[in-house]
A and B are shown apart, each in its own frame.
Chain A
Amino acid sequence: MAIIVDDDTKLIIQGITGYQGTYHSKAMMEFGTKVVAGVRPGKGGEAINGIPVFDTVAEAAERTGANTSCVLVPAPSCKDAALEAIGSGVSTVVIVTEHLPVNDAIHIVSVARAKGITVIGPNCPGVASPGKAKVGILPNKIFRKGDVGIVSRSGTLTYEIVSAISESKHGQSTCVGIGGDRVSGMSFIDVLRLFQEDGQTKKTVLVGEIGGTAEEEAAEFIKKNVTKPVVAYIAGRTAPPGKRMGHAGAIIARGRGTAESKIRALEAAGVKVAKLPAEVPELLTEL
């Protein structure tokens, strides 16, 4: 089973001719992903790592039957690239690009939701289902097939925790990096819902950070809808208080957003919360 990416994933890489696109297209294929096309306007007809390059996403999707796109283009072209993918027949778009203006993210996500397209990111490491496929930049070697579903707002911290899980006797069904920006496509809740329905996933790990209220909202959802056990880690227990967003930030947060608030909410929903990343596999074993 697994979620979002699997054996049926046929992938387009937007920005395949760049340094990161070239490197990571190869890494994705080594992971087992069916990378069927690349897109780079003006470079149609070329090939990178044996993958045919097209000028447009529409042409790439039509010629190859691709259903998923990975956006690896610089921030100033990202809105264009992501909207092109959303309008070109693929059903899932993974946006790795970081430093995307928040107004662009709002635009992309609202259009995608209206059209029923799944967007993951921006500023995310991607999605990996070991033994099946990976879309994004997560390191290949840290994964091991298993029954733990992971959802995380972080990038490198996700690798840290996946790696710790693999080094213990556990493995992953799917790992989803939803991205660390204020506005992202899939939320914790969207992913938790898919894990709850996924046959391969028996337990879930949620990796959060201080700031925003996404973890508190996830806790509410878990309490009502998730029957599979959940382990969490929240980074930033000892981080200095962030810069204030005027009064508006404080009014929205109303005391939420801190590590204590998130941990309290998760524990109240029956989630086991690790104090350090290394404790996550121990808590999984205890389940």
Chain B
Amino acid sequence: MGRFVVRRLVSMVLVLFAISVMTFLIFQAIPNGDPAQRLAGRTATPETIAAIRRTWGFDRPIYDQYLLTMRNVLTGRVISYTQQVNVERQIADGLPATLSLAIGAAVIWFALGVALGLLGAMRAGGAVDRALTALAMLGVSMPVFLIGALLLYLLAYRMGLFPNGGYVPLSRDPAGWLSHMILPWFTLSALFIGIYSRVLRSSVLDTLGEDYVRTARAKGLSEWRVLIRHVLRNSLIPVVALWGLDFAAVIGGGAILTESVFNLHGVGQYAAQSIGALDVPPVLVIVMLGSFFVVLLSTAMDIVVAVLDPRIKLAS
């Protein structure tokens, strides 16, 4: 286990390094993307642009610029091109909204996904199962920004049941926080509920065919008891693994569309704005943060799965 974790951590550092280089290069390739020209503003003279290039180090070789930026990233001193503010502080400001969205939605999609999946498995082939299948199919076939926009229109704009986007800190106004978060939670969850319920349903049906379940049944245990004690425990493994990864991705700016539609000012929306403004430093930091969470939680989930399921060994 110890060696497994160490190896994963080493590979994580490599992945983060490669991702930062990749991000840096993607934005270097843009013609007229010279940030000095943008910072200088319209009608700026070539001298002004040259001065800015010198101050910001844009005249240095690219590897030098990369190293400079990375040093600032690691010491928490990286400054954005637009508005020239501390990027890490901006991200820290956006985290409460992103965490609220991620945690709330993750709880909802896990709970509903498991409940509906179990229901579907219990009623496999019946009308309820069919209805759930249809809903799940619809959930995975709708773009998240379309769901979000239509919910906002219907429930917030038309019926006035919810506020029309925005974020209110939990510490300042718990009720306001809740009313602002409900629509984003369900928007982001729709897709996952569809997936999780189907994964759990198939996993439960798989497990029901296993020998130990038959043994448990033969011992005369009640159907619910068999389901909860023996089946669910094993069936949850793939769902838990999925859950960790999705959660990581949402925190790391993966909910960029949901945050943008609901104007949550989270990390994802900051990423979208920064990409639109070709503001490389924030994009770099957010992408690294997202990748960090993805790698970290995938490692953690591998361990969790190995602990839950004795048949799986931690190898490479």
Answer whether A and B are interacting partners.
no
Using a CB–CB distance below 8 Å, which chain A residues touch chain B? none
